């Protein structure tokens, strides 16, 4: 069956990216388009959006549109963004009053309006372009109210008669919680808001989407189970459990064009499981670039990450200085976020030259170099809905050291030297001792060349293509489409 899908997102790689949502949006829509499904991919024309590779065109009759949100009146236009052959066009919502900001997200008082407008504009784009969606695919809190609009403003409209909503949760940690005072900005959808939340004086966008979407998915099977527990449900486990078995976990794929060690355009040297010379060269090049000791006697461990509580950085506070002082590992970290974490890594690098390097900021090219040049890659996440870097690491022959949570648990199998099975080092607990054990275990295995080579080869043989993930989304769409209203 071919689907007409209106895919609404705040991010799309490589143009507007804060995290994994951008990668999923880009890859899934590209595969669905390639398979002949009819797509309307809607996102804000953020000022921060990199327009390279997008040719913007006005659409007849779709400029100077207006929308009233509560007491505020907005003017916006809908533009078409043509891209390279093989990629679906974008539908970009141009509303400078809301999207002319330095960052994709902010904390100003109108943050909810920015995404209410996106949601309402997506429905308007469907109407004005005569696009009758089978599936309205919403992503994260930003577009989680779309299912409510489908049931209110769109009710009775023939164009939306077939439409079923799919809400994908990329990270339950971001819920879009606003004071109840903004309810008036929601228009008719406000009638469906949860009374209990209202009594508490708030509106939780993601919660509303979970309750009202026809189907809810998240980005790995383990995370789908975890978010139904009080430990990782972030206050929404009750509403998630209330949906019974309906939360579907689909592990993200990786963009195999961008992330392939055989022809990664960001790397000077390439390699494959059959010839790993290029990886050794990348290791040397990475060490030279960062002023790191390139000695082979200790493993070079990499991290590329947002520096946020979720990522378990605080678990490393004592462990990394110890390991570096013992000269058991060398380390390269790329990331930005929490200033406490940034300071920690800056000091760590200053205290341990030439074994540790830290680069603050977002650097796509360096991220590729780290994946290719390191021996191991550390992800001590407290929770991880899916995670991409562990999958890049596996493809790049870089042994992932991960906590057994979410998508990390679903994509990395602990290596057993007796059977030769497994692809990385997996530890259970979110505590420093567990990380200490994992690093020690990794360093010991690094010394056993045969076991290490086997573990690396096992990882490089894993398939994380988007084709597999897209099959699962299509099953989800079929399931949603067959649901009665």
Interface residue list for ligand ADP (CB under 6 A): 19-20, 23, 304-306, 334-336, 362-364, 367, 386-389
Query: Which C-beta is closer to ligand ADP: that of 131 or that of 362?
Result: 362
- Least distance in angstroms from the C-beta of 337 to ligand ADP: 8
Strands 55-58 and 202-204: unpaired
- Least distance in angstroms from the C-beta of 447 to ligand ADP: 28
Residue 391 to residue 308: CA distance in whole angstroms? 20
Query: Which C-beta is closer to ligand ADP: that of 366 or that of 425?
Result: 366
Give Dmax over CA atoms of the chain in angstroms: 69
Query: Which C-beta is closer to ligand ADP: that of 81 or that of 387?
Result: 387
Residue 388 to residue 251: CA distance in whole angstroms? 10
- Least distance in angstroms from the C-beta of 364 to ligand ADP: 5
Cβ–Cβ < 8 Å for 287, 279: no
Residue 331 to residue 355: CA distance in whole angstroms? 6
- Least distance in angstroms from the C-beta of 230 to ligand ADP: 22
Query: Which C-beta is closer to ligand ADP: that of 121 or that of 391?
Result: 391
- Least distance in angstroms from the C-beta of 441 to ligand ADP: 23
Query: Which C-beta is closer to ligand ADP: that of 220 or that of 330?
Result: 220
CA 365 vs CA 16, 229, 254, 260, 286: distances in Å: 16, 38, 16, 13, 11
CA 227 vs CA 202, 245, 380, 468: distances in Å: 21, 12, 18, 23
Query: Which C-beta is closer to ligand ADP: that of 160 or that of 358?
Result: 358
Query: Which C-beta is closer to ligand ADP: that of 391 or that of 451?
Result: 391
Query: Which C-beta is closer to ligand ADP: that of 5 or that of 391?
Result: 391
Concatenating the DSSP letter of every residue in 354-367 gives TTEEEEES--HHHH
- Least distance in angstroms from the C-beta of 24 to ligand ADP: 9
- Least distance in angstroms from the C-beta of 63 to ligand ADP: 34
Q: Which residues contact 16 (CB under 8 A, 6 or more apart)?
A: 10, 22, 43, 44, 46, 48, 49, 50, 104
Residue 388 to residue 28: CA distance in whole angstroms? 14
- Least distance in angstroms from the C-beta of 173 to ligand ADP: 9
- Least distance in angstroms from the C-beta of 157 to ligand ADP: 35
- Least distance in angstroms from the C-beta of 462 to ligand ADP: 16
Cβ–Cβ < 8 Å for 312, 381: yes
Query: Which C-beta is closer to ligand ADP: that of 91 or that of 386?
Result: 386
- Least distance in angstroms from the C-beta of 445 to ligand ADP: 24
CA 73 vs CA 66, 95, 104, 392: distances in Å: 7, 11, 22, 45
Query: Which C-beta is closer to ligand ADP: that of 336 or that of 413?
Result: 336
Q: Which residues contact 406 (CB under 8 A, 6 or more apart)?
A: 220, 222, 223, 226, 381, 383, 384, 385, 386, 387
CA dihedral for 94, 99, 101, 103, sign (positive or negative) = negative
> In 3D, which of 231, 244, 214 has the Cα closest to residue 480?
214
- Least distance in angstroms from the C-beta of 222 to ligand ADP: 14
- Least distance in angstroms from the C-beta of 481 to ligand ADP: 28
Strands 55-58 and 72-82: antiparallel
Query: Which C-beta is closer to ligand ADP: that of 389 or that of 458?
Result: 389
Q: Which residues contact 484 (CB under 8 A, 6 or more apart)?
A: none
Query: Which C-beta is closer to ligand ADP: that of 125 or that of 333?
Result: 333
Residue 72 CA, distance from chain mean position = 32
b (16+ CB within 10 A) / e for 332-362 = bbbbbbbeebbebbeebbeebeebbbbbbee
Residue 131 to residue 124: CA distance in whole angstroms? 10
Residue 250 to residue 12: CA distance in whole angstroms? 19
> In 3D, which of 291, 437, 421 has the Cα closest to residue 378?
437
Query: Which C-beta is closer to ligand ADP: that of 336 or that of 479?
Result: 336
Residue 151 to residue 115: CA distance in whole angstroms? 18
């Amino acid at each position: 069956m071919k689907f007409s899908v209106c895919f609404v997102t705040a991010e799309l790689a490589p143009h507007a990216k804060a995290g994994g949502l951008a990668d999923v949006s880009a890859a899934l829509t590209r595969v669905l388009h390639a398979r002949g499904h009819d797509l309307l991919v809607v996102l804000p024309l953020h000022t921060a959006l990199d327009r390279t590779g997008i040719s913007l065109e006005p659409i007849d009759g779709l400029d100077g549109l207006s929308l009233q949100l509560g007491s505020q009146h907005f003017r916006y236009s809908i533009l078409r963004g043509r891209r390279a052959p093989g990629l679906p066009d974008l539908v970009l919502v141009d509303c400078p009053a809301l999207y002319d900001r330095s960052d994709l997200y902010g904390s100003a008082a109108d943050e909810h309006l920015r995404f209410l407008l996106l949601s309402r504009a997506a429905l308007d784009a469907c109407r004005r372009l005569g696009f009758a969606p089978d599936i309205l695919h919403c992503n994260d809190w930003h577009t989680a109210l779309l299912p409510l609009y489908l049931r209110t403003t769109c009710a009775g409209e023939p164009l939306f008669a077939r439409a079923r909503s799919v809400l994908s949760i990329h990270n339950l940690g971001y819920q879009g919680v606003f004071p109840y005072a903004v309810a008036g900005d929601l228009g008719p959808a406000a009638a469906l808001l949860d009374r209990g939340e209202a009594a508490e004086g708030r509106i939780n966008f993601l919660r509303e989407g979970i309750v009202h979407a026809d189907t809810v998915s998240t980005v790995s099977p383990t995370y789908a189970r975890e978010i139904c527990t009080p430990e990782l449900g972030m206050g929404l486990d009750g509403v998630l459990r209330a949906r019974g078995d309906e939360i579907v976990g689909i592990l993200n794929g990786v963009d195999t064009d961008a992330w392939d060690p055989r022809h990664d355009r960001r790397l000077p040297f390439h390699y494959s499981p059959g010839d790993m010379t290029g990886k050794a060269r990348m290791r040397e090049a990475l060490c030279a670039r960062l002023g790191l000791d390139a000695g082979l006697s200790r493993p070079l461990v990499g991290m590329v990450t947002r520096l946020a509580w979720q990522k378990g950085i605080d678990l490393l506070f004592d462990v990394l200085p110890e390991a570096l002082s013992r000269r058991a590992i060398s380390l390269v970290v790329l990331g930005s976020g929490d200033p406490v974490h940034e300071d920690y890594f800056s000091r760590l690098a200053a205290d341990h030259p030439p074994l540790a390097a830290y680069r603050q900021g977002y650097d796509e090219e360096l991220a590729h170099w780290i994946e290719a040049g390191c021996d191991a890659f550390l992800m001590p996440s407290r929770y991880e809905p899916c995670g991409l870097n562990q999958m890049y690491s596996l493809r790049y022959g870089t042994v992932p050291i991960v906590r057994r949570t979410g998508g990390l648990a679903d994509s990395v199998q602990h290596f057993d030297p007796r059977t030769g099975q497994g692809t990385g080092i997996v530890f259970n607990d979110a505590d420093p001792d567990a990380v200490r054990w994992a690093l020690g275990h990794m360093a010991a295995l690094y010394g056993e060349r045969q076991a290490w080579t086997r573990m690396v080869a096992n990882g490089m043989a894993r398939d994380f293509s988007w084709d597999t993930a897209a099959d699962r989304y299509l099953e989800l769409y079929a399931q949603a489409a067959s649901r009665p209203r």
